[in-house]
A and B are shown apart, each in its own frame.
Chain A
């Protein structure tokens, strides 16, 4: 039986096992590949999406729980890549391989929603995603820049 999801403001019907992790629903069933698979056990954060505004690791979030919620993925973070985080991510050359960065951005965006002027400690706590390339110092700097912009 199809389950109805609201993703980036659009309603999508998915005919999958209700236990299927939201990550694989997005990637395989809906072809939305911006959300990444990294570990499958909610450790690395590459699969981070927003569910009703909160950052959630979608690899451990079953499809049936997502029904009735507002889901935002990296594809919907902004309509045209103009979110201040996206802007500074590019300008400050933050990503290296880039694979973890969808999740980083979604975690950072949720943080700024909740704490508009985060401290380094706030960032460490909310954006504890794994980046194997070691982009952390730039991620942190770009979040501070975006926060300053959004306040202005």
Chain B
């Protein structure tokens, strides 16, 4: 059953009249709102909850419940826009709140579809399916208001209109505010729920781009992020985990710091103490496993931090310490791709026979490597938990509130109905706060100091060194080229530590165009933990594939843009060629450049899963300048994309700009090093992030690549994969040097 059917058939029937004529349905909701910090909001007296997604208050405010966490991408505002399109309340009266994970559990997944694409209280919750849900509940509410008004004024419902919060009937001159009609509207039974507007009827979506609803709170510092939670009696914890992942605590001399100012306790976290539950989290609990850790708890954070620095701790590093250097790990990954992989990701035709037939001169082969990278959201990992005998309260800047909620129940053993998760605003996600290892650590520390809320804060160094990183990955690509210069067969191999992501090699266009393809992968037993990082897997594989396609073009003696246009014309998704044509036209491709400058192009798709007309395709042209002594300057980036259609141009532009900068930083600057099993880099002085002065003078986002295919898809992740190979390919044009490893800043780019 699709979600609309579920909403209209079931959710509207749960309405019931409460005491005093007020409409209240369901249990108490726990949610954050853009009001700031009141996360224990029940429906207000006299309000009507039309569905668990939508409550309307007598004062005309419209509560819209969001499962998707707003990590700065504007999900809350987008949900408000969906509701506005159908219901037309006063825009400023729409108040998005976070849906309660507790309620979702108690009410049999009222907000989620277990195991389905909408299981996530995470990404994709503003996608087409959810858009239809919000528009349906808003349209259904609107028709109830119209019917209620019609009955009150004895006029035909079809003549009643709702506009900007006012219900009116032109013929009789009657009008009323939405809030005035709640009690009557909530009792209306419609014979049939209304159809939602067709795209051609939209007046708001796709046309208006309201500023994000939380911005007024951001600019005066009053928006509450996880780290800003202030609960009565709250104490602070500073955290140190085993510096080698998988290592164990050998000893800690607690007495050495107990007399320091403000210190209340020194507690330890041992993952072996966790008693597993049989709860069904969105991801397996394994990804949230805690590391061995020590935390100092004090009245104030700085006291905890100072005491932690003075605390004598000894660690047993365990097997991870065998990885002495970054080079050793790079070599291990590179060695793994020289052998057939353990796992076959895709296999068609006979690649080896094609290679033999083509002959040495027509074979091209290259190895690539990408390092561990940290998402580095600017709000350091943190959370606040209060564990008592009969309930757990947990305030957290999660990127996946359902996962974090389940983790809190699992870690404490508290029945889920007694766990209350309070989603806060989030100071950047980029994938880091999805697996909820941070959530588990917070609760694991807090449960050792029950009865008072404990705010656990990672230092920047701790967050950087205890990441769930973009994996270190090696890739090999080998192809035979036909008489027209295009590939006839492709061998691809990937290798990385446990948990690396295969997305972007077997499921992209190239291997699916070719009739002879062999894609394999192999896991190398690294101890470093990995996790989602903006465009998981894709952010490495798009670099491998699109650098390799460039190398094929050069070997074939064909302009890299023309080569791609010919190659991807064979793929039935028109978006690939359209986005390439767009950046070709807009970037000045082909215009002569002075020596030391070059243009490069790359195109890739995030989310296609091997199929045409799925996901989001992005093409990028980079124009660079490399001085003779090797200083790289990005002069211009032109980005075109195809996600079918869009519903908010400004939000799309923002994400494409931001994602391009994220991918640029990843490619130029980011890479973590390992020494004796430990992550070396700790803070931004060692792990550089692009600043204003580093910006390319021009980052141009173009909309001419849109195919009008009836879909829209994620937009924040797609740009991260292509900017790197576009810049790398441009560097080749400028210098003749082929860049096959990230970060680019480690390469000597000098030329003469």
Contacts and interface: CB of A to CB of B under 8 A. Distances in A.
Interface stretch (B136-144, B159-167, B658-666, B740-748): B658-666
Contacts of B661: 134, 136
Interface in A123-152: 123-125, 127-140
B695 A101 contact: no
Contacts of B427: 36, 97-100
Interface stretch (B191-199, B341-349, B371-379, B567-575): B371-379
B692 interface: yes
B223 interface: yes
Contacts of A100: 378, 427
A90 B211 contact: yes
A35 B227 CA distance: 11
A2 to B, nearest CB: 15
Interface stretch (B5-13, B270-278, B681-689): B681-689
Interface stretch (B56-64, B213-221, B547-555, B703-711): B213-221
A105 interface: yes
Nearest to A17: B261
B378 A21 contact: no
A129 B691 contact: yes
B209 interface: yes
Interface in A66-99: 73-75, 77-78, 81, 85-86, 89-99
A80 B54 CA distance: 31
Given A105-B219, A129-B691, A134-B658, A99 B225 contact: yes
B233 to A, nearest CB: 13
Residue in A17, A97, A123 whose Cβ sees the most chain B Cβ within 10 Å: A97
Contact of A131 (B73, B224, B378): B378
Nearest to A102: B221
Contacts of B693: 124-125, 128
Interface residues of B, number: 58
Given A97-B377, A97-B426, A100-B378, A75 B261 contact: no
A127 B214 CA distance: 23
A134 B209 CA distance: 19
A10 interface: no
Given A89-B219, A99-B427, A133 B72 contact: yes
Find the residue from B380, B650, B662, B685 having the highest chain A CB count within 10 A: B380
B463 to A, nearest CB: 10
B376 to A, nearest CB: 6
Contacts of B219: 81, 85-86, 89-90, 95, 101, 105
Given A31-B230, A130-B378, A133-B72, A93 B209 contact: yes
B737 interface: no
Contacts of B457: 37
B216 A97 contact: no
Given A24-B301, A46-B378, A137 B695 contact: yes
B692 A29 contact: no
Given A75-B220, A97-B428, A37 B380 contact: yes
B110 interface: no
A98 B212 CA distance: 11
B230 A24 contact: no
Contact of B658 (A44, A81, A133): A133
Contacts of B209: 93
B300 A16 contact: yes
Contact of B300 (A28, A93, A133): A28
A40 B71 CA distance: 23
Nearest to A143: B692
Interface in A96-122: 96-102, 105
28 contacts: A20-B302, A21-B302, A27-B301, A28-B302, A33-B230, A34-B221, A35-B221, A36-B379, A36-B427, A44-B689, A74-B221, A93-B215, A96-B658, A97-B425, A98-B214, A98-B218, A99-B377, A102-B221, A124-B693, A130-B378, A130-B684, A132-B430, A133-B662, A134-B658, A134-B659, A134-B661, A134-B662, A138-B654
Interface of B: 71-73, 209, 211-212, 214-216, 218-225, 227-228, 230, 236, 261, 300-303, 376-380, 425-430, 457, 459-460, 650, 654, 657-662, 683-685, 689-693, 695, 699
Given A28-B236, A43-B684, A81-B219, 18 more contacts: A24-B301, A33-B221, A34-B221, A39-B460, A40-B459, A40-B683, A86-B220, A90-B211, A92-B211, A97-B426, A97-B428, A98-B72, A98-B215, A102-B218, A128-B692, A128-B693, A130-B684, A134-B661
In the complex, the 5 A-B pairs of residues with the closest C-beta atoms, listed nearest first: A34-B221, A99-B427, A97-B72, A134-B661, A96-B72
